[in-house]
Amino acid sequence: MTQTPIKTSTGKTFTHLVSKEGGVKYPLKALNVCEETFSPLEVAYDYDEIRRQVSRESIEAGPHSIWRYKAFLPVESENPIDVGTGMTPLVKSNRLARQLGLKNLYIKNDAVNMPTLSFKDRVVSVALTRARELGFSTVSCASTGNLANSTAAIAAHAGMDCCVFIPSDLEAGKVLGTLIYNPTLMAVKGNYDQVNRLCSEVGNSYGWGFVNINLRPYYSEGSKTLGYEVAEQLGWELPDHIVAPLASGSLFTKIYKGFNEFVKVGLVDEKAVRFSGAQAEGCSPIAQAFKEGRDFVTPVKPNTIAKSIAIGNPADGCYALEVARKTNGNIESVTDAEIVEGMKLLAETEGIFTETAGGTTIAVLKKLVEAGKINPDEKTVVYITGNGLKTQEAVQGYIGQPFIIEPKLESFERALERSRTLERLEWQQTNV
Amino acid sequence: MTQTPIKTSTGKTFTHLVSKEGGVKYPLKALNVCEETFSPLEVAYDYDEIRRQVSRESIEAGPHSIWRYKAFLPVESENPIDVGTGMTPLVKSNRLARQLGLKNLYIKNDAVNMPTLSFKDRVVSVALTRARELGFSTVSCASTGNLANSTAAIAAHAGMDCCVFIPSDLEAGKVLGTLIYNPTLMAVKGNYDQVNRLCSEVGNSYGWGFVNINLRPYYSEGSKTLGYEVAEQLGWELPDHIVAPLASGSLFTKIYKGFNEFVKVGLVDEKAVRFSGAQAEGCSPIAQAFKEGRDFVTPVKPNTIAKSIAIGNPADGCYALEVARKTNGNIESVTDAEIVEGMKLLAETEGIFTETAGGTTIAVLKKLVEAGKINPDEKTVVYITGNGLKTQEAVQGYIGQPFIIEPKLESFERALERSRTLERLEWQQTNV
């Protein structure tokens, strides 16, 4: 007996671009701003078609990467650029949770995302796949570092020409971690906002695909996968509360969009998820607006060690504000010293070495718990978005030193005695 | 109609320790050398029991980490320490393969292994799980860097005390990437072999679990997962040829053991796999023995930028030699300059930033292809074992520079013109 196979539709799931304000429609080209309303453009989907195409089972049977959610992403290719990006661990926290007094803490660890160890690999995989579909042979970006690493690496893999723009004062690891892939690298004497403005000018005249400018509507959709994965990894359930870093504000709003889409197509039950955001005090325009009850963001000049999130004029700042407010979340900021403490705390309790942005998020998590703004029972997910090996300068001088010894047992024993004395002193100091 | 569920046996699959020479049996304790034959001890398994427990399907349904192969690993715990280690991408190479003239090249990419970006996370996950079972509360290791990172991180996650020994001249990234987890760190004025000797003395008197000394029989088994994963990721088939770096020689012999075990329990068909090894010329005792037809390894004093594989007196050198010879493979060495070129080549063609050990392996792969020692049609797997962000010094000065520009269109245009002129000159130089 043979069965007629169930026809699987593979129709296109995304239909057009639409302006966030006013709903003006545009074709699926390299466009990012509505000419009428000046608001950003977003990708629009056919959710009935998505519902027909996907189920929990079909997703679980897909690749172990962001492409298991391909029906929710704005690409047509049968073979998108897949370098193993996504499906990073969702770690159930034991030691950090205990230290903070939380009972249901999870860490989404994009510090080990592939290939370049930050969440940017998600957005770049989507953007470069779409860039190829749209016929671009040169790709580019304005970056605070992680995006530069990711664009250069994935462009190298895909054999595309690449020109990357960064502020000239970036951490050494981020510069070298870009140059190694041999792109053209422009180090601009200025902050990220100035780099970004320059790139908009270049974009108009060179016909390049700027992943976070003219390709931004496609690019930014990649961040939704940080929502999808958490929902799937929690056993097809949404968390109660998420804490994520805020730079442009895009990541935050896209996690929100991802959760809502999963509800819309019936993959998870509806739930009120609280969204809390983290900024560095030295660049906290969104946190300031939140505290002051404003619904607009006043640009600031960044001055913080958390360079990867130092965006003084955040493109999606007002949308991030809106999400935090309507979900009963919070937006907090922390000092550079607290950021370093956050990095150390995560490393010492969970064995995860994150960059300054992750230190910011952990420090804000701590601050929110201490202020009673996170309930110990809430199923809370904290998003770690990048790797500490790229911002080594930030912790140099704030961590312990090795004991320098001779290759002899006596020399080791003297050092061990010293280390135990130091531990006792530390213990006495904290237990006076 | 209900079916009787098939009874799944979960009996212990490892039975005792046994000396590599002479087959002397020992109990499953923290022991690594046979007192009668002085040869290393290895874990012995009950392969009939493993065959009863596992199938391709049961493995595929397991966790997305090394623990899907738990039946083949020497731990008893129901909940081994799982921080997402393993199941790194096996990338089908396009651009590197084309450049080298290979048709079936795959890259096993442990540069993105979790949590600390090297294959050492595999062996440490196994060793610390076993250390916990054996009652150790303090774990330790002698390391060239990657093992230090991994032991410190996973011990932090598991809440175990940790003391790590390294040579004092290690790369900055490896020192900081250890200290961040707050272990006791001993930087020994000497090379790895001196560090290792010191640790053996310490091990005898302190009752600590040294992952690569008294726990070595358990620890080293973790490397077998690099064999299992490749076989599974190739669609339950063995490759024709593998190329891997040689430090102590353990990794190499354990990949070989992994393949053979999969054949033994019927998960893959038998196949003659060729094993080729890579060393840095500045520390190539195994390659020298191979060239000279010796079956013993003469220790050397290391002097190379490839510090993570700079072991002058390799514990498993003679077994690695034996594997290369009996599988019709080769062992080659390359200069430091070739190592840097190998790192750049892999980054520029595949978007993978590896450390010096990976540069060594790529450079040896190239050398073997050019010498006609790898057939272009062979299904070849090259093992990349660590991340380039940890050895930034090695490529600093050998990669391009950014163009420093003002945040103005004219400044960008002048730089772009310069970069295009440089490219033309380079093209002319290589096409004279």
CA nearest to B403 within chain A: A186
Are residues A88 and B84, on separate chains, in Cβ contact within 8 Å? yes
Q: Tell me: the pLDDT tens digits for B329-345?
A: 999 999 999 999 999 99
| Cα–Cα separations (whole angstroms), residue A27 to A30, A89, A139 | 9, 36, 21
Say yes or no for a CB contact (<8 Å) between A351 and B181.
yes
Q: What mean pLDDT value characterizes chain B?
A: 95
Distance CA A76, CA A215 (A): 15
Confidence label for A8 from pLDDT (cuts 50, 70 and 90): very low
**Chain A interface test: which of B139, B389, B392, B408 (most A C-beta within 10 Å):** B389
Q: Is B1's pLDDT higher than 50?
A: no
What average pLDDT is seen over chain A? Answer: 95
Query: What would the mean pLDDT of A340-363 be, rounded to a whole number?
Result: 98
Q: What is the mean pLDDT of residues B65-79?
A: 97
Give A400 or B369, the one with higher predicted confidence.
Answer: B369
Q: Tell me what the mean pLDDT of segment B74-81 comes to.
A: 96
Instruction: Indicate yes or no: CB of A351 within 8 angstroms of CB of B109.
Output: no
Of residues A429 and A324, the one with the higher pLDDT is A324
Q: Which residue of A has its CA nearest to B196?
A: A407
Identify whether the C-beta of residue A153 lies closer than 8 Å to the C-beta of residue A116: yes
Buried b (16+ CB within 10 A) or exposed e, B350-372: bbbbbbbbbbbbbbbbbbbbeee
pLDDT above 90 covers a percentage of chain B that reads 92
> pLDDT per residue over A25-50, tens digit each?
999 999 999 999 999 999 999 999 99
Using one digit for the tens of pLDDT, what is the confidence trace for B127-163?
A: 999 999 999 999 999 999 999 999 999 999 999 999 9
**Out of A255-264, B6-15, B396-405, least confident range:** B6-15
- Whether residue B289 has pLDDT greater than 90: yes
Chain A nearest CA to B383, separation (Å): 16
Q: Which of A226, A405, A59 is nearest to B164 (CA)?
A: A405
Res. A6: pLDDT tops 50: no
Q: What is the pLDDT of residue A219?
A: 98
Whether A157 sits inside 8 A of B351 (CB atoms) is yes
Q: Are A280 and A360 in contact (CB under 8 A)?
A: yes
The per-residue DSSP string of A77-137 comes to -SS---SS-S---EEEPSHHHHHHT-SSEEEEEGGG-TTTSBTHHHHHHHHHHHHHHTT-S
CA proximity to B378, closest of B397, B365, B361: B365
Residue A7 pLDDT class (50, 70, 90 cuts): very low
Task: Look at A176 and B344 and tell me if their CB atoms are within 8 Å.
Answer: no
Contacts A–B by Cβ distance under 8 A: 231
Evaluate if residue A3 carries a pLDDT over 90: no
Peptide bond into B115 cis (omega under 30): yes
Q: Closest approach of chain B CAs to the CA of A162, in angstroms?
A: 11
Residue pLDDT, tens place only, A186-212: 999 999 999 999 999 998 789 999 999
Question: Cβ of A83 and B351 within 8 Å?
Answer: yes
A174, A184, A398, A417: best to mutate for the B interface, most B CBs within 10 A: A184
Determine the pLDDT at residue A205.
83
Predicted confidence (pLDDT) per residue in B198-257, tens digit: 999 998 789 999 999 999 999 999 999 999 999 999 999 999 999 999 999 999 999 999
pLDDT, tens digit (0-9, with 9 covering 90-100), for B343-375: 999 999 999 999 999 999 999 999 999 999 999
pLDDT at A2: 39
Interface test with A, best of B184, B340, B344, B409 (most A CBs within 10 A): B184
Distances (CA, A) of A275 to A217, A325, A330, A374: 22, 8, 7, 11
**pLDDT over 50 at A66, yes or no:** yes
Q: What does the pLDDT look like over B2-24, one tens digit per residue?
A: 344 444 446 899 999 999 999 99
Mean pLDDT of B83-92: 96
Task: Assign A430 a pLDDT band (cuts: 50, 70, 90).
Answer: confident
Query: 0.90 cut: is pTM over it?
Result: yes
Asked if the Cβ–Cβ distance from A187 to B163 is below 8 Å, we say no
- Model pLDDT for residues B163-178, shown as the tens digit of each residue: 999 999 988 899 999 9
Contact across the interface for B117 and A389, Cβ inside 8 Å: yes
Q: How far is A406 from chain B (nearest CA, A)?
A: 5
DSSP state of B307: G
Residues in contact with B60: Cβ distance below 8 Å, sequence separation at least 6, in sequence order? B68, B232
From the candidates B140, B157, B162, which should be mutated to test the interface with A, based on the most A CB atoms within 10 A? B157
Question: B105-125 pLDDT, tens per residue?
Answer: 999 999 999 999 999 999 999
Cβ distance B352 to A390 less than 8 Å, yes or no, reads no
Contact A179 B399 (CB under 8 A): yes
pLDDT band at residue A428 using 50, 70 and 90 as cut-offs: confident
- For the cut 70, the answer to whether the pLDDT of residue A10 exceeds it is no
pLDDT for the residue A432: 60
Task: Round to the nearest angstrom and report the end-to-end CA distance of chain A.
Answer: 80
A-chain residues near B109 (CB < 8 A) = 84, 114-115
Does pLDDT of A5 surpass 60? no
Contact B351 A153 (CB under 8 A): yes
| Residue among A180, A189, A344 whose CB faces B399 most closely | A180
CA distance to partner chain A, nearest, from residue B88 (Å)? 8
Residues from chain A contacting residue B152 (CB–CB below 8 Å): 351
Interface contact flag, B416 A83, Cβ < 8 Å? no
From B87's Cα to the closest Cα of chain A, the distance in A is: 10
